[in-house]
């Protein structure tokens, strides 16, 4: 998939009306960013390496290949990237099998979106095997979901959000995105979406077309509709 916006997705008559809500998964809807770090710490401990807490902000929200590659580089671990990816996914899947807690405000937002009939998509850098496990724990049926291993270029590239918008039949500029990391925000903004950032690990500054809040408890459908009137970058 390329970063071009399909010509069939023309702006609606009202120009900026909210047409869909696209949501990140880890750290946004489910409190699992810490799970990923726990999995990385455990796997590298088994490999004989101790991870520095300062590296957590570097790998948070990133695609598996980038995060795992960075940790191999900084630790000097003698393991190939494909092998490490399997170990990390296995460790994370084992962790989420014990239960996946929702982020504060997530259940209320998902319930409101469903009641209003608002088209929604889950857009994650996690692999499909992980997304499918988490979806079973969410109180919401998404119209579609996009996994990091299903696009040629995952976050921070725009491809995942462009694919989600196209799948819902809504122009990217009519989509509101909820994200928790700078990597995810960059992906959504590159796709032309409006963004609500709810930082989970590292801070994210406010910017034109982007609103930063402390919790999903501050986000409802009226909030997302108002986001569409924010000045564009």
Spell out the alpha helix ranges (H) of 117-220: 128-135, 159-168, 182-190
**The pairing of beta strand 20-23 with beta strand 175-179:** parallel
In 3D space, the residue among 155, 208, 209, 162 whose CA is nearest the CA of residue 184 turns out to be 155
Active site residue 132: no
- What is the Cα–Cα distance from 101 to 110, expressed in whole angstroms? 14
Active site residue 214: no
Q: How big is the chain by its Cα radius of gyration, in Å?
A: 17
- Kindly provide the b/e burial profile for residues 79-116, where b requires at least 16 CB atoms within 10 angstroms of the residue's own CB: beeeebbebbbebbbebbeeebebbebbeebbeebeee
- The structure tokens listed for 111 are 């319930």
- What is the Cα–Cα distance from 93 to 134, expressed in whole angstroms? 9
| Catalytic-role residue among 14, 26, 46, 90 | 26
- What is the Cα–Cα distance from 216 to 135, expressed in whole angstroms? 18
| Catalytic-role residue among 14, 24, 53, 159 | 24
**Catalytic residue numbers, as ranges:** 24, 26
């Amino acid at each position: 998939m390329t970063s071009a916006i399909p010509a069939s997705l023309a702006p609606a008559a009202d120009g900026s009306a909210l047409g869909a809500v696209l949501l990140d998964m880890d750290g946004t809807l489910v409190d699992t960013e810490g799970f990923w770090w726990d999995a990385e710490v455990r796997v590298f401990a088994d490999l004989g390496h101790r991870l520095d807490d300062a590296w957590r902000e570097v790998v948070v929200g990133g695609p598996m290949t980038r995060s795992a590659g960075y940790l191999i580089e900084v630790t000097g671990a003698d393991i190939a990237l494909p092998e490490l990816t399997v170990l990390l996914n296995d460790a994370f899947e084992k962790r989420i099998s014990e239960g996946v807690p929702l982020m504060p405000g997530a259940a209320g937002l998902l319930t409101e979106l469903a009641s209003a009939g608002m088209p929604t998509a889950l857009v994650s850098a996690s692999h499909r095997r992980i997304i499918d496990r988490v979806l079973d724990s969410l109180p919401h049926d998404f119209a579609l979901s996009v996994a990091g291993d299903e696009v040629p270029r995952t976050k921070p590239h725009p491809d995942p959000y462009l694919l989600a918008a196209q799948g819902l039949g809504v122009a990217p500029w009519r989509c509101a995105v909820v994200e928790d990391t700078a990597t995810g925000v960059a992906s959504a903004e590159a796709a032309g979406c409006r963004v609500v950032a709810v930082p989970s690990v590292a801070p994210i500054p406010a910017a034109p077309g982007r609103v930063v809040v402390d919790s999903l408890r501050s986000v409802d459908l009226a909030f997302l509709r108002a986001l569409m009137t924010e000045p564009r970058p």
